[in-house]
Amino acid sequence: MGAQRATRVAKALVMLCLALGIGFGAGSLVARIAQQAGIGAPSQASSSTAVPEATSEQQSPAASQAVPSPTNVAYSTWDPQLDANYYRVLGSAQVAAAPEPGTVSYGPLDALGRATGAVATVTRDSMEAGIARSRSDTSDIEPSGWGHNREVDIAMPNGTVYHGFLFNRSHLVAKSLGGVEQTSNLICGTRTQNVGANVDGTDGGMAFAEGLVRDWLFDHPDGWVYYAATPAYEGSELVPRSVIVDIRSSDGSLDQRIEVFNTARGFAINYATGTFEVTEDAYKAAEQIRSTLSADQQASTPAAPTAPVEATGSPTSETGERMVIVTRSGEAYHHDESCNGLAHAKSMEWVSVSEAEQMGRHPCGICGG
């Protein structure tokens, strides 16, 4: 009985420390207690664990217990002024059980076929493996609410216009964080929910949260980050209203709960079915937005196009392939060095389009890639 009680106490201590953001550095008292009790706590020493390729929607009981439940997850109403980049920081992360370092756990699909959540313990190795992995074909994957997509125009807060599909197959755990392309990791998310509106040249939407993790791991290669994404549904609706993302680094310096809004300016979305209606002319809205900007803001903002245009002006490689710009931690590639999406980039590199795609990057929503 004494040994069993000691094990229970040790497990309680480990879970309490995880919830408080206390790291499990090799040689620490908590790590030694966990090791003696046979508990697999996330540790810096085990950050080299490889991310397994997911081949099935089935998850082990232990894995599914680590995934937050979407039941009664609260969501907020999107404010176009306060939440212009389609996310809101709510406070400190709410941490549940974490999977082994370098792995991702996916919740099972519910009775309506909806993704219920995913949680990862992201390491530098698993991040780099995810970035390097080729993106799987998702054309035959239909998240709940999928099937009503079409190309649209969305007015952005800087007076530009995005032209492309309204909905993306949006990852809960991004490929660059070790997530894979399967139904339990994808939702029907708007383009702005996926990558934001690039307000002031910064990533928004899910890309904001993902960028925080990548930047921290680039600066702390021996650490790990708890990352959980939980879609928030209203009743039996098929499309989530928001995604709640909880992030906490092993040293506690990165500690945020973020709400990412699944909406887009100028569109009324029927979350029960995934259908939508256009409520404003994006180009007229962009002109109105530009009329309210200051002279300095207008000078730094590309003129809103009168119609969708093809990306031009990029240099070409020796083989004649168009060259584009990638950054260290961004998920998009760009064709224009003055793109607002590059405003805060710490470093830039010209690569061919095929190289950018092999790196898992997608065309920028502002300059078109």
| Mean pLDDT score of the chain | 79
pLDDT digits (tens, 9 = 90+) for 98-123: 999 999 999 999 999 999 999 999 99
Whole-prediction pTM? 0.69
Quick one: which of 157, 172, 156, 79 has its CA closest to 122? 172
- Of all residues in the chain, what percent carry a pLDDT higher than 70? 67
pLDDT score recorded for residue 296 = 53
pLDDT score recorded for residue 68 = 58
Is it the case that residue 221 has pLDDT exceeding 90?
Answer: yes
pLDDT score recorded for residue 55 = 34
Domain boundaries, the chain: 1-41, 46-309, 310-369
103 compared with 335, residue with greater pLDDT: 103
Is it the case that residue 330 has pLDDT exceeding 80?
Answer: no
In this structure, which amino acid lies at residue 139? S
pLDDT score recorded for residue 184 = 97
Question: Which fold is adopted by the domain 46-309?
Answer: Extracellular Endonuclease; Chain A (3.40.570)
> What gap in Å lies between CA 236 and CA 71, rounded to an integer?
11
Is it the case that residue 174 has pLDDT exceeding 80?
Answer: yes
What is the arithmetic mean of pLDDT over 32-47?
A: 42
* Residues 335/315, Cβ–Cβ less than 8 Å: no
pLDDT digits (tens, 9 = 90+) for 83-100: 999 999 999 999 988 999
309 compared with 112, residue with greater pLDDT: 112
